[in-house]
Chains A and B, each alone.
Chain A
Amino acid sequence: MKDLSLIRNFCIIAHIDHGKSTLADRLIEMTGTVSKRDMQDQILDSMELEREKGITIKLAPTRLIYEFEGKEYTLNLIDTPGHVDFTYEVSRSLAACEGALLLVDASQGVEAQTLANTYLAFDNNLETVPVINKIDLPSARVEEVKEEIEEVIGLDAEDCPCISAKEGTNIDQVLKAIITKIPAPKGDVNGKLKCLIFDSHYDNFKGAICLVRVFDGTVKAGDKILMMQTGKIFEVTEVGIFVPSTKSTNSLSAGDVGYISASIKTISDVKVGDTVTSAEDPIEKPLDGYKSVQPVVFCGIFPVDGAKYGELKDSLEKLKLNDASLQFTPEVSSALGYGFRCGFLGLLHLEIITERLEREFNLDIITTAPSVSYNVYKTNGDMIVVSNPSSLPPTVEIDRIEEPIVKVNIFTPPEYVGAIMELCQNKRGVYKDMQYLDKKRVELVYTLPLGEIIYNFFDSLKSRTKGYASFDYEMAGFEKADLVKVDLMLNGEKCDALSLIVHKDNAYNRGRELAEKLKKIIPRQLFEVPIQACIGNKVIARETISAMRKDVLAKCYGGDVTRKRKLLEKQKEGKKRMRKIGSVEIPSEAFMSILKLDDDK
Chain B
Amino acid sequence: MREAVEKDISIYIHIPFCEQKCNYCAFASFCVSESEKEKYIEFLCKEIEKRKSSRPVKTIYIGGGTPSVLSEEQIEKVVKAVYKNFDVYEDAEFAIEANPNSTTEEKLLKWKKLRVNRVSIGVQSLSDKSLKKINRLHDRKMAIEKIKLARRYFSNVSADLLVGLEGESGKDLSKYALELLSLGIKHISCYLLEVYEGTKLYDLVQSKKYLPLDDDKTIEAFNKLSNFLVDKGMERYEISNFAFLGFESQHNLNYWARGDYLGFGLGAHSFENNRRYRNSDKFSEYYESKVYEENLTSKEIIEEEVMLGLRCKLGVDLEKIKNLGYDLTKNEYFADYLRQGIIKRNGNVVTLNPTFYHISNTIIANLLP
List the interface of chain A (C-beta within 8 A of B).
526-527, 548-559, 561-562, 564-565, 567-569, 571-572, 575, 580, 583
Contacts and interface: CB of A to CB of B under 8 A. Distances in A.
B368 A569 contact: yes
Contacts of B288: none
Q: Please classify how large the interface on chain B is, using the bins under 10, 10 to 19, 20 to 34, 35 or more.
A: 35 or more
A548 B255 contact: no
A551 B359 contact: yes
B358 A552 contact: yes
Contacts of B368: 568-569, 572
A562 B239 CA distance: 18
Contacts of A562: 276, 294
A552 B365 contact: no
Contacts of B252: 557
A572 B276 CA distance: 22
Given A571-B362, A583-B336, A552 B357 contact: yes
Contacts of A548: 359, 362
A564 B307 contact: yes
Is chain B's interface secondary structure helix, strand, loop, or mixed overall?
A: helix
Contact of B359 (A549, A555, A559): A549
Contacts of A550: 192, 215-216, 218-219, 358-359
Contacts of A571: 361-362, 365
A567 B267 CA distance: 20
Contacts of A568: 303, 307, 361, 364-365, 368
A548 B358 CA distance: 9
Contact of B366 (A552, A567, A575): A575
Given A554-B239, A556-B308, A561-B304, A526 B278 contact: no
Nearest to A550: B215
Contacts of B304: 561, 565
Contacts of B340: 526-527, 583
A81 to B, nearest CB: 44
Contacts of B360: 551-553
A552 B307 CA distance: 12
B109 to A, nearest CB: 28
A600 B256 CA distance: 55
Given A554-B194, A554-B240, A526 B362 contact: yes
Q: Can you list the 9 inter-chain pairs with the closest CB atoms, starting with the nearest? A: A559-B269, A571-B365, A550-B215, A554-B192, A572-B365, A551-B361, A551-B359, A550-B219, A549-B216
Nearest to B163: A554
Nearest to B281: A559
Given A527-B340, A571-B365, 19 more contacts: A526-B342, A526-B356, A548-B359, A550-B215, A550-B219, A550-B359, A552-B192, A552-B357, A553-B361, A554-B191, A554-B194, A554-B239, A556-B239, A557-B252, A558-B269, A565-B307, A569-B368, A572-B366, A575-B365
Contacts of A567: 361
A554 B311 CA distance: 10
Given A549-B358, A550-B359, A551-B361, A557 B294 contact: no
Contacts of B356: 526
Nearest to B10: A558
B111 interface: no
